[in-house]
Amino acid sequence: MLKRLASIVFKNTNSISDDDHVERYLKHQEILQQLKDDNKYNHHIILDKKLCEHRNADEDNGIFRLKKDEYEHGTYILNKIKEKIPQGKINLPYARLNNADLTGVDLIKAILTEADLGNATLTSANLTRAYMSGANLNGADLVEARLVKADLAGTDLSEADLTQAILTRADLFGANMEGADLTGATLTKANLVKTLLFKATLTYANLKKAHLERAHLDGANLEGANLEGANLEGAFLTKTDLRGADLRGANLRGTRNLTSQQIISAYIDETTMLGSGFNNLKAEILKAQRSNPVNKESFSQPDTPVIS
């Protein structure tokens, strides 16, 4: 049964059109659903990373291996597929969508792992809960994009424009965000552990309660950023601009190359956690604050809408 169904999908693709590719994709989804209904298919679609050949379905574990050209026809196929597949069913790992115009597209829960979206335009796109680990988003335009709880672990977001993007609780573990523009972006409770943020722009970004342990922030601009309650333990802060940054409740213990001048230029209070080497400096700053109180409200940013 499995081999008969698989034969519908796996046949020579050298001379078929884009419309045929769309129909093949839809047929594939139909087959997967039928297999699930028959309780004979319990695995998600798996793509061989080499993607150099295909084979019939394995009757023991139900694994399909598809040829790369099933997924590489860019925006045309993506838009056509979206017309017929419901939300959360877009499955395009390894897709070639570089330079594609995907302005405002709805890709909630889409699977785009290791897809090539280099220099793509995703302005105002909705990528909530999308799976994009290992994807290439180098130079992509993600201005005002919604990436709430998106899986972006290990992605290449270098030089990407994420101005005012919403990345609440997004997973950016180990992502490359060197030179990215995150001006005014929302990254509350985001996972930025070991993320590369060399020379990134995070001015007035909201990083409240974000996880930045061992993040590389050398040369990054965090002027006016909200880091209240953020964990920066072990982060690299060489020449990081912290002017006006809100560090109330933040953990900066074990940070690398943090200077007294950086601390003085930011806003701290008694809840800010600094290494023991800064105890005297912290005491002096708090004493000066008591003598000349600072308006704390001036450091507060509007609360981010609650994300379920």
Number of domains in the chain: 1
> How many Cα atoms are found within 13 Å in the side-chain-facing hemisphere of 123?
4
Tokens, residue 105: 């597209």
pLDDT band for 82, please (50, 70, 90 cuts): low
Q: Give the residue carrying structure tokens 């050209």.
A: 69
The DSSP output letter for 216 is B
36 assigned to some structural domain: yes
Q: Kindly state the average pLDDT of the residues 118-123.
A: 94
Q: Is the pLDDT of residue 291 over 90?
A: no
For residue range 6-20, what is the model confidence (pLDDT) as tens digits?
333 333 344 444 455
The DSSP output letter for 85 is S
284 assigned to some structural domain: no
6 assigned to some structural domain: yes
13 assigned to some structural domain: yes
For residue range 294-305, what is the model confidence (pLDDT) as tens digits?
655 555 454 444
Claim: this prediction has a pTM higher than 0.85: no
Q: What angle do CA 196, 198, 202 make, to 5 degrees?
A: 95
Tokens, residue 302: 């509007």
Whether the CA torsion 234, 140, 202, 124 is positive or negative: it is negative
For residue range 22-75, what is the model confidence (pLDDT) as tens digits?
555 555 555 445 544 444 333 333 333 332 233 333 323 333 333 334 334 444
Domain range for residue 8?
Answer: 2-69
24 assigned to some structural domain: yes
